[in-house]
Amino acid sequence: MEFVTGADAAQTTLMEFKVPRPCRAILVTGPAAAPSAGLTMLLVPTIDQEDPELVANVWSWVEPDVPEELRRGLLIMLQGARIIWSPGRAGLVATAERLEALRRAVIDFSFFDGEVRQFEAELAEAWPHLETDTPLAFDFDIRAMPRRDELARRFQRVIGLRARLVQVSPAIDSPPVHPPTLAGQLKERLKERSRLDERIEFVDEQLELLERVYELCGQRSSELAIARNEARLEWIVIILLATETLALLVDLMAENRI
């Protein structure tokens, strides 16, 4: 399964999303897609959902070649069903009539978890720049002027991330569905176990800091540019006055000679 934009009648749409961009979860058969491209799922319809060997095999499929003590996937046990999830892969062990609802819940959660992971990756990439740019929020001199466009681009990128977060947050923070459904309970369990709400709050705090720093950089650079323009105008006025004074002196000297 992959998350794609655009429409294609030949593709089987499993779910559709509106925010932060129009997107569809489509069914992909064949070789498993890369984790970054979507979600690879293993559906195991069975009546014996508590079979420890079966669950162990599914977990080994979800996290192949990972020692048990190093596994980072989530195991959710819900009304007899077993759901094992990690970024990019998920295994569902449940009765056949429950699999579709569980699959939709896992797809929904995985989409928004992927959005938060993208925020986290972009912020991790921006953080080293913040360390070098922060001093410019307090002391922006003529030597920093060549970096003004670069700082503006970083500020625009932060604003773009903020706009995306404003769209994503309501979907992530939406209250549980009432009356409770199997799919709704699974999404809430996955959100809780993955600390999705806390992670989105941390993203918001990081963006707030980045905004503040680059706003200050913009203010300092604007103040310097205005000061330079004012100084340039002052020198122009001084030169004009000096030229006028010199012309008057020349006129006076010429009159005295006459």
pLDDT of 37-86, one tens digit each? 689 999 999 888 778 899 999 999 999 988 888 888 999 999 889 999 99
For residues 97-111, average pLDDT: 93
Cα separation, 239 vs 245, in Å, equals 10
180 preceded by a cis bond (ω within 30 of 0): no
Residue with tokens 């209250």: 175
Does the predicted TM-score (pTM) go above 0.85? no
| Residue positions counted in the chain | 258
CA 258 – CA 256 distance, rounded (Å):
5
Q: Is the dihedral of CA 123, 126, 128, 130 positive or negative?
A: negative
Give the tens place of pLDDT for each residue, 165-223. 999 998 888 877 778 888 899 999 999 999 999 999 999 999 999 999 999 988 888 88
Determine the angle formed by the axes of helices 182-194 and 196-257, rounding to 10 degrees. Answer: 60
